[in-house]
Amino acid sequence: MLDLHALADGTGSTSLIRPITIPSGDGQVVAGVPMLGTPGRAVLVAWGAIGLASANGPKEVALKSNDLNDPPNFSDWKPGGTSLAPYCSPHLMERLPYISAARGVYAAQKAAGLELTFTIDHYQPGDVRATGVIQGSRFPARRGLYSQAFGGALTAQAWGSVGLTPTYNLPAGRYAILGFTVSAITNVALIRFSHADFGVAKPGCMGVDKFVLSTTLGIIAGDELLSTCDLIQFVRLSEILGQPQCPVFSAGPNGTGLAIECLDNTADTPTVVLNLAYLGV
């Protein structure tokens, strides 16, 4: 199962710096160290950086860790100062097992401003208390779309949360999250999900508001999950990583128990639409 966490910086820099502030509600204890820090249990599969807008988007982002094969040169990505995207190195796929060294995601912005960096780890079955994950399908036989608006504005650079509460309770059973789409955010944000069935893991990835085309045309290029995989992000991640990644949770007559969490550089009030596949009781 995937696990998304982030770090924040309130000022930013035009030179490479490493955000080290753990956002409120994030859950990580030590910046850059996965929740399951025992060597070999966490594998870093994606990382990136997010600025406030295109004017102060990252012009460079780097991953530094002694766990890398080539620590002196580290991993470095430079879209440059002409990039229109407020993010950099989105969902850049890795296969970096955690051994002993904290992961540092560094970013340099075109102009200093609020910024977030994120990491996505993968935990093997049995490492988290979970009902499981499935491969998923782009066209499941039994699925539904469920729209959920946050009850109020987010606090910038702090995780906000809203429970999935459909008008009527879902039929009791097990559900797989295939993916999502998000609106009413400023450019891009981080979206993740929590449930008692997921244990410590909080699967998620970046989301972009594609319904405001004037602000997203220059944003979605270069990231498959943003440009073509709305509502099936976890399905596509299963295909990319070669392992099932669609999180599975149980819902009952008293509610879903599923929380949608969002982290943004601005105080937006997002609406998230979930694509859920019904797996039966």
- Average pLDDT on 44-67 reads 90
Return the CATH fold of 2-123: Jelly Rolls (2.60.120)
- Name the more confident of 52 and 233: 233
Best CA proximity match to 266, nearest among 188, 150, 192: 188
CATH 2.60.120 matches 133-280: yes
For the cut 70, the answer to whether the pLDDT of residue 216 exceeds it is no
- Of the chain, the percentage scoring pLDDT greater than 90 comes to 64
Q: Assess whether pLDDT exceeds 60 at residue 4.
A: yes
Following DSSP, what letter does each residue of 59-73 receive, concatenated? EEEEEE-TTSSSTTT
Which spans in the chain are helix H? 213-216, 224-227, 233-241
Q: How confident is the model at residue 270 (pLDDT cuts 50, 70, 90)?
A: very high
Per-residue model confidence as pLDDT tens digits over 110-152: 999 999 999 999 998 666 655 678 777 777 778 899 999 999 9
- β-bridge mates for residue 49, sequence order: 88, 117
Measured CA to CA in angstroms, residue 56 lies from 47, 107, 192, 265, 275 at distances of 19, 11, 24, 12, 32
Task: Please check the confidence at residue 169 and state whether its pLDDT lies above 60.
Answer: yes
- Give the pLDDT score at 90: 61
pLDDT score, position 139: 76
- What does pLDDT average to over the chain? 90
- Closest Cα partner for 8 from 27, 29, 31? 31
Helix, strand, or coil (residue 279): strand
Task: With cut-offs at 50, 70 and 90, classify the pLDDT of residue 214.
Answer: low
Fold matches, 2-123 and 133-280: yes
Written as six digits, the tokens of 125 are: 């079955």
- Report the pLDDT value the prediction gives residue 135, as an integer from 0 to 100: 76
Percentage of the chain exceeding pLDDT 70: 93
CA pair distance 201, 45, nearest whole angstrom: 14
Distance, CA of 105 to CA of 107 (rounded, Å)? 7
What pLDDT does residue 130 have? 56
For 21, the token pair is 């502030």
> Which pLDDT belongs to residue 141?
74
Return the higher-pLDDT residue of 25 and 130.
Answer: 25
Q: What is the pTM of this model?
A: 0.93
The Cα–Cα gap between 252 and 55 comes to 46
Write out the DSSP string of 73-101. Answer: T-EEE---TT---SEESTT----EE-SS-
User: How confident is the model over 31-39, as a mean pLDDT?
Assistant: 89
- Residue-wise pLDDT for 68-113, tens only, equals 989 888 999 888 888 877 777 566 778 899 998 889 999 999 999 9
**CA separation, residue 100 to residues 32, 62, 139 (Å):** 11, 19, 41
Domain positions in the chain: 2-123, 133-280
